[in-house]
Structure 1
Amino acid sequence: MARKASKQANFNIMIVGHKGRLQYEAILFAASLRANSPDFKGRLIVAEPQPGKNWWDDPRIKQDDVRATLESLGAEIIPFESPYFGQHYPYANKIEGLAALPEGEPFVFFDTDTLVTGDLMSVPFDFDRPSASRRVEGTWPTLELYGPGYTEIWKSLYNKFELDFESSLDLSQPDEYWRRYLYFNAGFFYYKCPKLFGERFLKYAHDIKWDMPSELVCQSLDPWLDQVALPLVIHSLGGGRDALPEGYLDGDVTCHYRLFPLLYARESDRVVEVLEEVASPNKIKKVLKQYEPMKRMIYQGRGEKVRALFDRDHLPRKEQAIRNTIKRNGFWMR
């Protein structure tokens, strides 16, 4: 349903700009923001990693037409350095890139594979209480037969950073069930200051990666490191799972689609409508068609073929089942 606009204070938005897929997704994000949130007055910052000791392959956006299109949509491409992660763990772009944002100004980070489908100014952010996406599956930790359980693993992390573990729990959920423990998808997060949030996020991620508690010795941190550190950061800054009402982000106002086959398979008609509308102007189409999945999915009709494979009201419970169906039919692209 439509959301009424609130008297939301201005804030900045950060997405990551990187050569390859992300640069084209950034165009779609910027175009959907301008189309569906015309009252947004903050800065749209496309944080761009720079070549350096941790990038042996130059990550910058090379195409002049991509840069020009982003700028025509009101985006600012701002460089940042990668002193700790870079190409070793590119998911940390969302952590190290926070240094590109102005200190002391509220921000919302979005993964680049997000569409704005409604008015962001209607979202009742409380920038003093950070939160993040709850559209998440129980992807971490993966329990070993004779290894530590959820409580032991998560408690070891809270203890490491001298945080109160008990107050992070959702006591309405059963003990040793993953939803009892604070866990987010890192597809969006927000706070009142990117410097405070970014420095803490970087410290926690760095310390978990290079000085992990013994309880994590059997756990994979690639690609989960950002989502392991994120709830600790949010809890330490006074936020939590209930800081933002449901139904706005990952709901009426934004869609984190992740990959185009998944978008066409499971997202609402409204999301597909927004995608195809903002991708339709010739100046945008000309640039996006350089990226093969967008060319085939959006402009050559493969997306509609994927969509016809599924009943949105009765989707498979597991994402992997959706992926497998698309692959069996020869329509998978990424």
Structure 2
Amino acid sequence: MVKNRANSEKFNVVIIAQSGRLSYEAVIFVTTFRRHNPDFEGKLFVAEPQPGDKWHGDPRIHNPDIRAILENHGAEIIPFDSLHFGQNYANGNKIEALKALPKGEPFVFFDTDTLITGDLQKVPFDFNNPCASMKRTNTWPQIELYGPGYGQIWKSLYDKFGLDFETSLDLSQPDEYWQRYMYFNAGWFFYRCPHEFGKWFTEYAVAIRDDRPEELVCQELDPWLDQVALPLVIHKLGGGRQTIPAGLLDGSVSCHYRLLPLLYARESNAVVAELEEAIAHNKIKKVIKAYEPIRKLVYQKKGHKVRGMFDQNNLPRKEQFMRNQIKKVKLWLR
């Protein structure tokens, strides 16, 4: 009998890593993951894009010491081919990597710039009813003065794929208010089968990119394409908003920090401590201090200078203001 589990169903976890920033972020992810999930019963996968026509160079993780850290923390590095996206749209990695996971096994995808701060096995995932991160803002679509509104734009997408638009709406929100329309951050999502999820994710994303509805003619799809297609996939597969309790993912169990300067600027003291403790070991430090943002912000403690610039209990309303302030002290490192 499994004790202290919210859900007895075994599942896998996957992130993406490749050369550069993502390989260092992957080290942070796996170290925090193992600190809080030492007895995780599923598999931890690090999906790695392979060289090919869609990449200008070799996107794989070149540093053998980083590969060793990932594997020593129980991660299995698995390859996948980029058939549709690659260099020109790296966010497409999360779409194409799903085909490399074991078919028919439930999975949870996380963006690599995430800290795990709690026991994932205590999250009551409903793998038959997928959802994704609700930690989002009204980034897409951007409404033009004389252009179509939210309703027309989103309905054109549901109509394109033969989906029921009306049942996707949150009728507690007013017409033409962005939260009425299903929209997620693609920082995490889950389902019972990665191949089924990936099939629809790929089909919808490629079709939107290559043959967008007329209502989207003025809309920017880079970098938003994954987040435009994601609610359509979730709706197609019978999911919706918040099919797990609020406050766990993007809360007590995970933190999607996105960039280290933003982590120091706005996250809790507990999250900052988690980051610094997780990568304090000399065997890890000597490898990842080569990455300037980690070296300066974490090991040289300059992240605390960033932290002191803001009141974490009363943050500026706009992220851009924080970015500009951090840039002024030359600590906007990424």
Offset, 1:242: 2.7
8 Å CA contact 2:7, 2:123 repeated in 1: no
Letter in 2 for 1:257: Y
1:155 to 1:73, Cα distance in 2 relative to 1, 3 A: same
Partner of 1:84: 84
- In 2, the alpha carbon distance for the partners of 1:7 and 1:13 equals 15
- In 2, the alpha carbon distance for the partners of 1:5 and 1:274 equals 23
Normalised by the length of structure 1, the TM-score is 0.98
- In 1, the alpha carbon distance for the partners of 2:270 and 2:40 equals 20
8 Å CA contact 2:16, 2:22 repeated in 1: yes
- In 2, the alpha carbon distance for the partners of 1:8 and 1:270 equals 28
- In 1, the alpha carbon distance for the partners of 2:279 and 2:324 equals 27
Match runs of 1:1-334 below 5 Å: 5-334=5-334
- In 1, the alpha carbon distance for the partners of 2:304 and 2:43 equals 34
| Mean Cα deviation higher: 252-261 or 317-326 | 317-326
8 Å CA contact 2:133, 2:184 repeated in 1: yes
Offset, 1:32: 0.5
Normalised by the length of structure 2, the TM-score is 0.98
Offset, 1:244: 1.5
Letter in 2 for 1:145: L
Offset, 1:175: 0.8
Letter in 2 for 1:233: V
Residues 21-58 of structure 1 show CA distances to partners (whole Å, capped at 9, x for unaligned) of 00011011001010012231111111000010111121
Letter in 2 for 1:41: E
- In 1, the alpha carbon distance for the partners of 2:75 and 2:99 equals 17
- In 1, the alpha carbon distance for the partners of 2:198 and 2:86 equals 15
Letter in 1 for 2:56: W
- In 2, the alpha carbon distance for the partners of 1:170 and 1:39 equals 38
- In 1, the alpha carbon distance for the partners of 2:137 and 2:8 equals 30
8 Å CA contact 1:5, 1:119 repeated in 2: no
User: Which runs of 4 or more aligned residues in structure 1 lie more than 3 Å from their structure 2 counterparts after TM superposition?
Assistant: none
- In 1, the alpha carbon distance for the partners of 2:133 and 2:322 equals 21
- In 2, the alpha carbon distance for the partners of 1:40 and 1:167 equals 36
- In 1, the alpha carbon distance for the partners of 2:224 and 2:239 equals 21
Letter in 2 for 1:255: C
8 Å CA contact 2:7, 2:125 repeated in 1: no
Residues 140-180 of structure 1 show CA distances to partners (whole Å, capped at 9, x for unaligned) of 00111111000000000000000000111111111111111
- In 1, the alpha carbon distance for the partners of 2:240 and 2:318 equals 26
SS at match of 1:87: coil
- In 2, the alpha carbon distance for the partners of 1:262 and 1:140 equals 21
Residues 90-131 of structure 1 show CA distances to partners (whole Å, capped at 9, x for unaligned) of 100000011110000000000000000011111110000000
- In 2, the alpha carbon distance for the partners of 1:52 and 1:107 equals 26
SS at match of 2:324: helix
Offset, 1:332: 1.0
Offset, 1:17: 1.0
Letter in 2 for 1:211: D
8 Å CA contact 2:134, 2:242 repeated in 1: no
Offset, 1:330: 2.3
Offset, 1:325: 1.6
- In 2, the alpha carbon distance for the partners of 1:246 and 1:270 equals 19
User: Identity of paired residues, percent?
Assistant: 63
Offset, 1:5: 4.1
SS at match of 1:88: coil
8 Å CA contact 1:306, 1:331 repeated in 2: yes
8 Å CA contact 1:107, 1:192 repeated in 2: yes
- Output the aligned Cα RMSD: 0.9
- In 2, the alpha carbon distance for the partners of 1:138 and 1:244 equals 22
8 Å CA contact 1:39, 1:121 repeated in 2: no
Structure 2: where are the runs of 5+ without partners?
none
- In 1, the alpha carbon distance for the partners of 2:297 and 2:179 equals 34
SS at match of 1:313: coil
Offset, 1:85: 0.8
